[in-house]
Amino acid sequence: MANTMQFDLVSPERSLASFPVSAVQIPGADGDMTAMPDHAPTITTLRPGILKAEGPDGSAEFLVTGGFAQINADAMSVLAEKAIPVGEVTRAHLDDMIAEARASHQSAVDQGQHTIVDDAAKLLADMEALDTHMSL
């Protein structure tokens, strides 16, 4: 069993991380999960939350709002809709993300798109829970 695997995190704005890790905790759409070297190949969607990467040189945390993670035995790639290092997150970032989620939810309700209303409500609840967790 290898001690580390390659971890890469990118968003549309920039590449945020590329380093070896011993474990990565991700906020999966179906629940939190931890990927480690020799993990079974998996692709999962992400929900808003905190992604934590632990490596030989320390750990790093990122706020992600969604996206996908592809996990292999020796590498993990995360393609995030939006990602920000936790140390760079401001109250304004969270307020903007919650406002976007609230607008998306209201738009779904207004259009009577009940299939996406529940998704938008879940997104809003996840963003508000993240707001509580971040304590900014």
Give the integer Cα–Cα distance in Å for 70 and 7.
10
Tokens of 5: 């695997």
Tokens of 44: 């999962």
Sole residue written with tokens 């508000």: 128
Give the integer Cα–Cα distance in Å for 31 and 48.
11
Cβ-contact 2, 22 below 8 angstroms: no
Residue 71 dihedral angles phi and psi, to the nearest 5°: -115, 130
Tokens of 1: 């069993």
Question: Going residue by residue through the chain (136 aa), what tens digit of pLDDT does each one get?
Answer: 469 999 999 999 999 999 999 999 999 988 899 999 999 999 999 998 899 999 998 999 999 988 999 999 999 999 999 999 999 988 898 888 888 888 887 887 788 766 666 777 777 777 787 777 777 6
> If one looks up domain 5-86 in CATH, what number appears?
2.60.15.10
What 3-state DSSP class applies to 82? coil
pLDDT, residue 2, reads: 65
